[in-house]
Structure 1
C-alpha cells in the first residue's frame, strides 16, 4: 500500500476503537445485537472493535499487503451485505451505505493491489 494506508487504517481504528470498543456510537451495538442476538451484543461488539483495531495495526505494519487488502475487501463486503439484508434501518445512510462501502472497497483495492512503480 502507498501513502493512503494511513487514512484507510484510520477508518478501521475509528470504527473499532471509538465506535465499538468505547461504544461512542451505540448504533453499532444495536446492529450486532440484531444480527447475533442481544444477550452478548456488548461483548461481540467489543471483540469486533478489537479486530478492527488489529486490522489498522496490520495495515500500518505493511506486512503481507496483498493478503491484507484481500482480507479487508472480503470483510467489508461480507459485513455490508449482512447489514444491507438484515438491518438496513440501523445503517447511517440505510441501504445507501452499500454505495459507500463499495467506494471504500475500490479505494482499498486500488491502493493495495496495484503494482508499485518499481515492479515490471
Structure 2
C-alpha cells in the first residue's frame, strides 16, 4: 500500500516531493520502465521521465477536476521548484500554465495553500516573460 511505503521509506520533505513527482510520471505513463516495487519513487538524481512532459500533463488537469485541484497545484509547484529552468526549456508549456493558473486565481475557489502556491507560480511565470 502506498501509505506503508511512505511511512517506511521517506525520510524528509525533499524525498516526499520526489516520490510524488515520480509517482505522477509513472501513473501518467511518462516513465515507461516496468516497476516491480515502489522504490522507483525514491529516485531523486536522475528520474527516467521528461519534466516538460510532466508539466504539460499536470497543467492540463489543473482546471478539470475541482476535487483534485489542490493536488495538481501542489505537484506543479513542486515540479517547478525541483527543475529551476523548466519554463525556459518549454516556453509553450510555460505560457499554457500561466493562462491556466491565471484562471484558477480569478476563480476564487482555491484553498489558501493552493492560492499561495498558484500566486508563486504565476509570479515566476510573469517575471520570466510567460505571463498572459
Judge same fold: TM > 0.5, yes or no.
Answer: no
Q: Which structure has the highest helix share of the two?
A: 1
- Larger relative contact order (C-alpha < 8 A, sep ≥ 6)? 1
**TM-score for the superposition, normalised by structure 1:** 0.32
